[in-house]
Chains A and B, each alone.
Chain A
Amino acid sequence: MVDVRVQIRHPMESGSRKDEAGELIPAWYITRFSLTAGDRLLFAAQLGPGVARDPLLHIRVDGLAAGDEVLAAWEDSRGETQSDRARVEAL
């Protein structure tokens, strides 16, 4: 079993917070996330603004070996998309 921990730097603004001038800060949060290894979908999520800033996702996956590459991809409420890759390491 492989522990996969992903941390994404993102403000996850809820839309109900105010700035120092008392103005509402617009909502801006990650909406969708997926983790894949080649063609295999490992994990998918729909997130709302109730997920904490700089989201941390920790999941547990079978059938991966050291050296396998996984791809994390996400999209936010502004339609911005990002992705990153990492390799499974033996500890």
Chain B
Amino acid sequence: MNPRHNSDRRRLLTALRGLGLLALGGWTGVIRAASPVPLLTFKPVTLEAALREAGVDAVQPSEQLRLNAPDVAEDGSAVQISVSTSLPARRLLVLVEKNRIPLVASFEFPPGTRPFLATRIKMAGDSRVLAVVEADGRWFSAAREVRVTVGGCGG
């Protein structure tokens, strides 16, 4: 999984620009997963309420879930994180405990797609970042404490 040793791997790099691309492919609609995840709301609530509203009742920490995030992020407007797991995870939630809106996003991995995700998130200030995955009907979590030098208006 080390990106330095993946030269044998096929790789697709898409650089999508948000303007004027509609004519390229034609809009076909955002396709939702086969097992529909309820439409989430991104509201200013507590972490616990955000988890509950996303359908997470009980969650337990798992060492089989890895959340990579910096110990210190200089710019809270774009903090690079990645999540990977050996669990058969089909759904991933990313949350920032102390953001005004803790829930950052929900991701779905259909069969054939590895439970891996890298993205950039906003952090308003120092906080715990959580990755929560659903695997075999149970929820597992991993957390990292991230210090933020300049906050990024975390939504």
Residues of A within 8 A of B (CB): 1-10, 12, 14-17, 29, 32-34, 36, 40-53, 55-66, 70-75, 81-91
User: Is there contact, CB below 8 Å, between A5 and B12?
Assistant: yes
Q: Which of B22-44 contact A (CB under 8 A)?
A: 22, 24-34, 37, 39-40, 42
User: Is there contact, CB below 8 Å, between B104 and A48?
Assistant: yes
Q: A44-B32, A83-B26 are in contact. Are A58 and B77 (CB under 8 A)?
A: no
CA distance A9 to B18 in the complex (A): 5
> Contacting B22 at CB < 8 Å: which of A70, A82, A87?
A82
Given contacts A7-B14, A43-B107, A48-B155, 9 further A-B contacts (CB under 8 A): A3-B6, A12-B122, A46-B39, A49-B122, A52-B79, A58-B117, A62-B114, A63-B112, A86-B14
In chain A, what residue has the closest Cβ to B41? A48
User: Is there contact, CB below 8 Å, between B104 and A81?
Assistant: no
User: Is there contact, CB below 8 Å, between B19 and A16?
Assistant: no
Smallest distance from the beta carbon of B4 to chain A beta carbons, Å? 13
CA distance A85 to B27 in the complex (A): 11
Q: Which of B58-86 contact A (CB under 8 A)?
A: 77-79, 82
CA distance A47 to B37 in the complex (A): 13
User: Is there contact, CB below 8 Å, between B116 and A59?
Assistant: yes
> Contacting A74 at CB < 8 Å: which of B6, B30, B120?
B30
Smallest distance from the beta carbon of A31 to chain B beta carbons, Å? 9
Q: Which of B84-126 contact A (CB under 8 A)?
A: 96, 99-101, 103-110, 112-114, 116-122
**Contact partners of B119 in chain A: CB under 8 A:** 51-52, 55-58
**Contact partners of A81 in chain B: CB under 8 A:** 22, 27, 29-30
**Contact partners of B31 in chain A: CB under 8 A:** 34, 36, 41, 44, 73
> Contacting A60 at CB < 8 Å: which of B78, B105, B114, B152?
B114
User: Is there contact, CB below 8 Å, between B10 and A88?
Assistant: yes
**Contact partners of B154 in chain A: CB under 8 A:** 14, 50
Q: A51-B119, A56-B119 are in contact. Are A89 and B10 (CB under 8 A)?
A: yes
